[in-house]
Amino acid sequence: SQKIEQNSEALNIQEGKTATLTCNYTNYSPAYLQWYRQDPGRGPVFLLLIRENEKEKRKERLKVTFDTTLKQSLFHITASQPADSATYLCALWAGGGNKLTFGTGTQLKVEL
């Protein structure tokens, strides 16, 4: 069956460190993978998209990698800040490209 898996345990890191979140998928062949941020009481907000032929994508302090052989994407936040604390979700377009399916999300807490 198709699955998109993220670490269910919360990730706690110290301010200034790099946070690394993992997204693994099974039985998908995505051409694109997306990352979203969700704050408590709000809907997910789009952050980054990476294409299958891009190994790495950067946006300010964010970096995403995409390994189609491992079927994995890594999401990095460098120089993390308490304001980065949120839940981060990866997502794939499936079902012929029209069905946006999300992973379970990983909660990140950045501590002072």
Partner 1 sequence: DAGVIQSPRHEVTEMGQEVTLRCKPISGHDYLFWYRQTMMRGLELLIYFNNNVPIDDSGMPEDRFSAKMPNASFSTLKIQPSEPRDSAVYFCASSPQGGLNTEAFFGQGTRLTVV
Q: Which residues contact 68 (CB under 8 A, 6 or more apart)?
A: 29, 52
**Cα–Cα dist 31/18, whole Å:** 27
The two tokens of residue 85 are: 């604390």
Which parts of 34-73 interact with partner 1 (CB under 8 A)? 34, 41-46, 49, 51
Of the candidate residues 1, 83, 96, 112, the single one contacting partner 1 (CB under 8 A) = 96
Query: Minimum CB separation from partner 1 for residue 24, in Å?
Result: 14
Query: Minimum CB separation from partner 1 for residue 37, in Å?
Result: 11
**Cα–Cα dist 93/45, whole Å:** 16
**Cα–Cα dist 66/23, whole Å:** 9
Quick one: which segment of 10-18, 55-63, 70-78, 90-98 binds partner 1 (CB under 8 A)? 90-98
Residues that bind partner 1 (CB under 8 A): 31-32, 34, 41-46, 49, 51, 89, 91, 93, 95-105
